[in-house]
Structure 1
Amino acid sequence: MVTLILAGSVTLLLMCFKPSTSSVGQVNLPASPDVGEGLFSDKSSKNVTTMLIWSWPFGKQFNLTVCDSVYNIKGCFLTIDRNFYNMSDAVLIHNQNFLPTIQRPPFQRWIWMNFESPSHYPKSPEIENLFNLTVNYRRDADIKMPYGSIEILDVERDLVLRVKNKLLCWVVSDWKERYVRSAYYYELRKYVPISGYGKYFGKPLTATEYYRTLSKCKFYLALENSIHMDYITEKFFNALSLKTVPVVLGPPRENYERIIQGDAFIHVDDFKSPKELADYLLLLDKNEEMYLKYFEWQRHFKVKKHTSWEFRACRVCDHVRRHKEYKTINLHKWFWDE
């Protein structure tokens, strides 16, 4: 009898809140596997925040039930099921090309999530004053979500490096001649050997091969595809974590030094020309004492990367749960007119 009553309640609840199929949008997505169980384990409390993931980021599905068990974030109910639209406290939108077309409940906040630079994310008039919160790598985002961070170790550790059999490496798949980094690479390779990998060089790497290869490189070209404030991607943090010295092209040195001490990396802006940089790398290759100074930070710190979609979604939901203020964002002015 209890089972029949419960089933009837679920049916009635979904009938009340289910939007019409024609108004939901153009993408049909599978229901989240946590809908049935999560509805009663989480939504039974008035303190639970419901956040709808409007579409999977880049089509990549992830577990929606780990906020509590993995990240110790309580009171969050995540779902991909658009039947929960009208009862969702927030809607997390990653692809602005597929926006909800149904009327927004007055209490609901829309969240703009993007980790690309302004140069690689199209400006759209439809999104102006539409969103209430921003999730971005920038320090001034409502929910700051950099590609990584540096954390203090509990105890000092010894410095252990793998044998390095390559001087300077670069892994690149997204190649465009108009990128600043392309011109820099063309000039730099005239003066120092560069081991190239990735689709552009015809040497694609699996994840395992990528990490194994980078750890054998003395230096790694962490060259961003565009230069914008705070746009420091996983290229930089991967190099640091794999104990190779990143040679960076991106925002100014001061921007990087907000993340880590200045003697942990080499910035191309410190040199008058690619030739001058090449000469310095060749000097470090011959002077082990000078080279090892770039790793002293690793005795006291470690790299933590923040590229998990599960982590990002849970963090966003936790922010929505803790912060009740309501506002609208002038995205064009904030993001593109930086």
Structure 2
Amino acid sequence: MGRWRIILNVKLTSQGIRDYGTTTPNVDVNEHLRRDRTNITKNKIILLWNSFYGTRHFGAGAFRREAFKINKCKVNTCSLETDRGLLEKAAAVVFHIRGKMTPFPRHANLRQLFVYFLREPPPLTFENSPRYRKHFNITMTYRSDSDIPVPISRYVKQTNGTGTKHALKYPLSSKSGQVAWLVSHCNTSSQREIYVASLSEYISVDIYGNCGSYECARNTSCVEHLERNYKFYLSFENSYCKDYVTEKYYRTLNYEMIPIVYGGANYSKLGPPDSFINILDYRSPKHLASYLDFLSENEAAYLTYFQSRPLWKSVDVLGKAFCDLCELAHNETFHRIYSDVHEWWTRDSCDEKIVERIIASTKV
């Protein structure tokens, strides 16, 4: 799969502020974050305008100064607030784009940061993004080209870990099922259901949830059942969009199944290498099924997908993101202008024809 190439067209306005228009901001924000912190003393207010799926602190873990202390921020002189009466004093205002945003405020001053916060892909963005497209000057999304990236999860390699041959709790020979899929949305923009239907012609795929004939409670006991009985798990995203990957992938790394992934992220950069199977590495569902059959009969090859997992651990993402936002709130040189943030968010971001092209190519 080809990597995304983005060309940045930056110009300076008469005020000396970078204007990105509808192009992608790809300036190294870390350059700003590395600036001298010794003079940072004044407390900055970061105002959360709405909630993040019912979570008022947006996953930061706490409010006010405590949010930046518990996350061990290098700069912790910020206060996370929810009182809209503090708008005039806020250095940054965070908006969850899929939340209730009305009444939408005006900028209190030219330097105030209006943060475009979103962790869902463009097909699920709904109405708020285009409605308020001209109001934001900083992005905080799952995309790596955001000013502050906030992926769903993040794995890092441990410096003190050692790779060892992984002895499975549930031996390969004890797993009677081949491929499992737990799914609730049956018709998606990524067309994942079409690929699964084709794959099912060549290998057994048991579908749990709203879209299949198998029932399983949506809790840990369900996934444990799948772990005991299946060799592979389909971690297919509902949207094929740049950098978009969800818990469908990350969750499987905690269980003894090999995730079969389909999504727009660069999975090799997300976690343990050689721990997943990407459908885009195979010419067709038939070729993928053939490889899965091979692994099912070759335990040594199957176990290689678990060998590097002990070297990696998941780390907090949202806490780190608010640390970065606190630093930028203090940085007098940080400026952004998005003349149309919705255009940046949606333009060339997703591909809804991947599966269609794969299936069509097998018929040639």
Whether the 8 Å contact between 1:150 and 1:259 is mirrored in structure 2 is yes
Q: CA deviation at 1:207?
A: 2.9
| Structure label with greater radius of gyration | 1
TM-score normalized by the length of structure 2: 0.71
Residue pairs, 1:71-110, within 5 angstroms: 71-73=71-73, 74-95=76-97, 98-106=101-109, 107-110=111-114
Q: 2:47 aligns with which of 42, 47, 52?
A: 52
Matched, 1:239 2:252: yes
Q: What is the Cα deviation at residue 72 of structure 1?
A: 1.1
Contact 1:110 1:132 in 2 (8 A): yes
1:49 touches 1:317 (CA, 8 Å); kept in 2?
A: no
Runs of 4+ in 1 over 4 A off after TM superposition: none
Amino acid at match of 2:162: E
Change (3 A) 1:80 1:203: farther
- Encode CA deviations 1:247-292: one digit per residue, 9 max, x unaligned: 111127xx22233465221111122221221121111011001111
Q: Which residue of 2 aligns with 1:267?
A: 278
Separation (CA, whole Å) in 1 of partners of 2:304 and 2:87? 54
- 5+ residue gaps, structure 2, are 1-39, 349-364
Give unpaired runs (5+ residues) of structure 1: 1-44
Q: CA deviation at 1:54?
A: 0.8
Q: Following the alignment from structure 2 to structure 1, what is the Cα–Cα distance between the partners of residues 255 and 315?
A: 12
1:156 partnered with 2:162? yes
Contact persistence 1:222–1:247 (CA under 8 A): yes
State yes or no: 1:182 paired with 2:174.
Answer: no
1:100 shift after superposition = 4.4
- 2:344 and 2:86 map into 1 onto residues whose CA distance is 30
Q: Distance in 2 between the 1:174 and 1:161 partners?
A: 31
Q: CA deviation at 1:319?
A: 4.1
1:316 CA displacement: 5.3
User: Which residue type is aligned with residue 247 of structure 1?
Assistant: I
Contact 1:118 1:335 in 2 (8 A): yes
Cα distance between partner residues in 2 of 1:320 and 1:211: 40
Q: 1:271 to 1:59 in 2, by over 3 A?
A: same
The 1-side partners of 2:227 and 2:86 are apart by 46
Report which structure shows greater RCO (CA 8 Å, sep ≥6): 2
Residue 148 of structure 1: SS of its match in structure 2? coil
Per the normalisation by structure 1, the TM-score is 0.76
The CA deviation at 1:182 is 0.8
Name the counterpart of 1:287. Answer: 298
**Deviation larger for 162-171 or 218-227:** 162-171
Deviations along 1:284-307, whole A, 9 cap, x unmatched?
01100111111222242234464x
**Other structure's SS at 2:184 match:** coil
RMSD over equivalenced CA pairs, Å: 2.6
With over 3 angstroms needed to count, the CA separation of the structure-2 counterparts of 1:228 and 1:104, relative to structure 1, is same
SS at match of 2:304: helix
Range with greater deviation from structure 2 (202-211 or 50-59):
202-211
Partner of 2:220: 208
Aligned residue for 2:154, secondary structure, equals strand
Aligned to 1:26: none
Q: Distance in 2 between matches of 1:303 and 1:235?
A: 15
Alignment partner of 1:114 out of 115, 118, 136? 118
Identity, % of aligned pairs?
27
